[in-house]
Amino acid sequence: MTRQREWQKKKRAQGLCPICGQKSKEGHIYCINHHEMRKVYTRNLNRKKKGIPLDAPLRTRASKNIANKSIQATGDKAAKPLI
C-alpha cells in the first residue's frame, strides 16, 4: 500500500477529510468543500451518461409538486407508470 493511501485511510479513521485533512462533514467522508465538489462532479458525470445537458436546471421537489398541481388543475391525466 502506498504512503498516500495509508495517509488517506488514517485520516478517514480519525473522521477527517482524506483529501485535505480538515474535519469531515457529519455523516460524510469529505469536508464541506470537497463534499460539494464531489457532488457536482458526480452529478455532471451522471448527466453525461444519460445525455442531459450540463447546464440544465436542477429539478427540485417544489417544481415537481407544481407540475403535479397544474396537471390536476387542468384535468389532464398523468401517464401510467410502466410495470
Cα separation, 38 vs 26, in Å, equals 16
Residue whose cell numbers read 448527466: 47
Q: What is the pLDDT of residues 40-70, one digit of tens each?
A: 999 999 999 999 888 888 876 665 566 566 5
Domain extents in the chain: 3-71
Residue whose cell numbers read 390536476: 72
* Burial class of 17 by CB neighbour count within 10 A (0 to 12, 13 to 18, 19+): buried
Question: For residue 75, what pLDDT is reported?
Answer: 59
